[in-house]
Structure formats: structure tokens, C-alpha cells
Amino acid sequence: MPRAPEEIPEAVLRLALASEAGPAFHHAAFAALGSWEAVVRAPAAEFLPLTRMQPDRASRIHDEVRRVCPDTERRAMERIGAQAVVLGDADYPPLLAPVPQPPIMLWVRGRTATFHEDAVGIVGARQATAYGRAQAARFAAAAAAEGVAIVSGGARGVDAEAHRAALRVGGTTVAVLGCGLGEPYPPEHVRLFEEIVEAGSLLASEFPVGWPPMASNFPRRNRIISGLSLTVLVVEAGVSSGALITARHAIDDHLREPCALPGPVDSARSAGCNAAIRDGWAHAVLDPEDMLRLLDGNAERMGRPAFVRPDLEALGLPDELRASVVRAAEVMARRPRIGIDDLASTLAVDASRARIIRTFAEMLLAQVGAARKTRVRELRTVVGAPRTTLRGDALGGAGAAVSPECQVIEDDVPPSLDQVQPMA
């Protein structure tokens, strides 16, 4: 279960609230000092060798960590119904935890079990064309209908179409915001964000509840989208867009092959996608089956049991064991001969509980193994076949495949905030 506000460790919350102390500092300090409590207690002088920071910044971090008010943040979380997952928790996203410098804490609203579903990130232009919006909806709906969670940034254009398409087909989606959950941006998507929570999907953010949508937030948001996803699909992106940065995170930092949708060669909106395909670092996808095959390959390389959603209800699995069983299945997929004591230590449970969890995990692996074989056979049948398209009625009717056009701006943040410097 995610943590209620009062269950968040004091030291973790203080560090997460300190604007001067970003992920690079968090992980360097933890490695040097051994615990979050030791980092909070340390004098400023101990911070100097960590990331070669200047003495004035070390002093600012030291003072800010002591000055922030965790109780004020807890009350703000309670007002909006937010909870938290902390690095090391069973509910922390298993795909995000191994990436370089993962967030030490995420603020969340919704169903955190979504973090344990295999996922595709779908990102692209905010000023998307009709082609881009339609294709974002098409790919998102097809993946969501297969049990793949759709991860995006909640922005205008492609992001919003991907979230809405997942909801229309009864799938799950994660919106990773570049602001606090209490300051949702863009403001016209407030209702969309509430629909995501009400549908049993998830909102997530690396930033405190009242954090505004500053320009420096969005590169950090992009790396989380990539970290949560087995592959990233870019739908319409200029040559210097944030969507391409997300895809570069996938291949450079997270070792996951991304993909891109080709567009007209004379369209500035598709120039980044076309260049990524030409330069060979993103796979070209022409229909959802291409994307699902790539996702399946990435999942296999990472030791994931399968990209299909397991049917946990069919296993008769108690709710309180679900997260542990899924985690155990992932461990056992990588280490089939793991002993019960090692498994118990990995899961932080006693040996008798680990045996129960292992039994269910073995059942889960057998289930997804059969599903994987079926899926691979289905995928092979479409190789060389005519390209398929998703029916309009699967998207909520031909006239409802994309949402109405809304006023957009080129960037994802207010222009007045464009010059804010990123946090280390």
C-alpha cells in the first residue's frame, strides 16, 4: 500500500521538499553517509565532496533541509487525497527503481498497482496536428486494450489524447506531472486528471503538492516517464522537443529501445521523429503491432515475465499479497533457482510467508508464460500481413477518436518561467 502522509519518514520528506537538493545530491549523499537520517543530520561541510558543489550551495541545502516543514506538506497532501511511495517500498515502480538516480519519493493519487503493470510511454507535440492526435489515440487504445498501461505527461496534444484513449477502452494510464499534484498543469486538464484517478489509474509527481510548473521540472518529469515504460513511442516531435529527450532517456540511460511514428518529410512537427528513425536510434512503427513487438522484446531483455496484464483474480490472490507476488515473480524470472531464504530477504518477509508468496508467484509465472506464447504466436501471424487499423468504435466512435482542439502554446510551461534553472 502507498504511504499515508503521516507514514512518510521525516528525513525522506525533508530531503524531497528541499528544492536545492535534487536526485544527484540525494543519491551521492546517501552513498556517502549511509542513511537518509544521517544526510539530514550532517553538517554542510560533509556535502562539499559529494557532487563538487560550492560551499554556498552546501550551506543552502543544509539550511533548507532544516527549514522545510514536513507537517505543512502532510496537511497539503491530506487536503487533496495524495499519498506517497518511497524508494525501497514494495509499491515503488519496479521499472523505475533500477534507473540511475531514481526519485527518492513520488507523490501519488490513485491506484499504485498501476506501477506494476508493463507500460508504454506515449509522448509528442503539444501543438499536435490532427494526424498526430489521431495516431496517439490509435496506438494508446490498442496497447491499453492489450493490458499495457499508457504513461504520458498530462500535457496538451499527444499526451492528453493518449490518456483519454486508454480510459475510453477501459485500460489504465499514468499521468506524470511536471508540477505538484495540488497545482495541476495545464489547468484545462484538471477534469482529465480527476477522471484518471476515478477510473482506477494514477497521477504521479516528483514534486511537492504546491510546486508550480517551472521549466526545470520537465526534464525530470521526462526521465520518469521513460523510467516507468518498457518502451517510449514518440508521436510528432520537433528536432529539439522534450518528447525526443524522453526517448533519449529510454535508450541512453534506461537501456530500452524507443520507437517513433514517421510523419510527412516536410512537416516540422514530425522532423524529430523522422530524424531519429533515419539516424537509427529509434525504431519506426507503422501500426500498434510494431510497438507491441518492440515492447515485448524489451520486456524479455529486462527479465519481465510478460507485457500482458496477469489475471490476478483468477489466481485467487489476496489483495494484501498482490504487490509481493508480482515482485517475487519478477525476481524468480531472473533467478529461477533462488532459495527461499534469499527470496524472503529480498521481499523483507519471513520464510513461511515467502513460501506462500513463492507458490502464488509460480502460478503467476505459469499463467503469463502461457499468455506470452499465445501472444508471440499472434504476433507472428501478422508479420508480412496487411497493416491493421483500430476500428473507430473501439475508440468511442469514429467521431470521438480525438478530443476537440483546444488553445495551445508551444511549450509545456508558462513563458515567464522558461528561464528557471534546472535543479541538480
Domain ranges of the chain: 107-287+402-414, 313-382
Q: Is the pLDDT of residue 210 over 70?
A: yes
3: DSSP letter: B
State residue 144's pLDDT score: 92
CB 161 within 8 A of CB 60: no
List CB contacts of 294: < 8 A, sequence separation 6 or more.
Answer: 231, 257, 259, 283, 285
Q: pLDDT band at 411, cuts 50/70/90?
A: very low
- Strand 105-110, strand 83-86: pairing: antiparallel
User: Pick from 340, 324, 336, 334: which is nearest to 303 by CA?
Assistant: 334
Classify residue 305 by its DSSP letter: S
Strand partners, 234: 123, 260
Q: What is residue 159's predicted lDDT score, i.e. its pLDDT? A: 97
Please indicate whether residue 59 or residue 371 has the higher confidence score (pLDDT): 59
Compute the distance between CA of residue 122 and CA of residue 153 in angstroms, rounded to an integer: 9
- Cell 515567464 belongs to residue: 416
Tell whether the model's pLDDT for residue 224 goes beyond 70.
yes
Give, as one character, the DSSP assignment of residue 320.
G
Residues 6+ apart with CB under 8 A from 130: 402
The CATH number fitting domain 107-287+402-414, selected from 3.40.50.450, 3.90.950.10, 3.40.1280.10, 3.40.50.300: 3.40.50.450
| Main-chain phi, psi angles of 259, to 5 degrees | -140, 165
Cβ neighbors of 313 (< 8 A, separation 6 or more) are: none
Amino acid 91 reads: D
Q: How far apart are CA 110 and CA 205, in angstroms?
A: 12
Would the pTM count as exceeding 0.85?
no
pLDDT, mean over the chain? 85
What is the enclosing helix (H) or strand (E) of 134?
Answer: helix 130-145
Please give the pLDDT value at position 372. Answer: 57
**Amino acid 421: pLDDT:** 33
- Gyration radius (Cα) of the chain, Å: 21
DSSP single-letter state for residue 409: -
Distance of CA 346 to the CA centre of its chain: 23
Contact (Cβ atoms closer than 8 angstroms) between residue 2 and residue 83: yes
Read off the pLDDT of each residue in 33-37 and give the average, rounded to a whole number: 95
Contact 312, 322 (CB under 8 A): yes
| Share above pLDDT 70 across residues of the chain, in percent, rounded to a whole number | 85
**Mean per-residue pLDDT, 117-129:** 94
Residue 232 has pLDDT above 50, yes or no: yes
Are 287 and 143 in contact by the 8 Å Cβ rule? The answer is no
Res. 345: pLDDT tops 50: yes
**Residue 186 φ/ψ, nearest 5 degrees:** -75, 155
Residue 301: per-residue pLDDT: 83
What average pLDDT does this structure show over 315-326?
83
Buried b (16+ CB within 10 A) or exposed e, 140-166: bbbbbbbbbbbbbbbbbbbbbbbbbbb
What is the arithmetic mean of pLDDT over 376-393?
36
Lowest mean pLDDT among 120-134, 223-237, 329-343, 361-375: 361-375
Residue 330's pLDDT is what? Answer: 75
Describe the strand order of the beta sheet including 173-177 as a list of residue ranges.
83-86, 105-110, 202-205, 173-177, 149-152, 119-124, 231-235, 259-260, 283-284
* Residue pair 302/230 in contact by the 8 Å Cβ criterion: yes
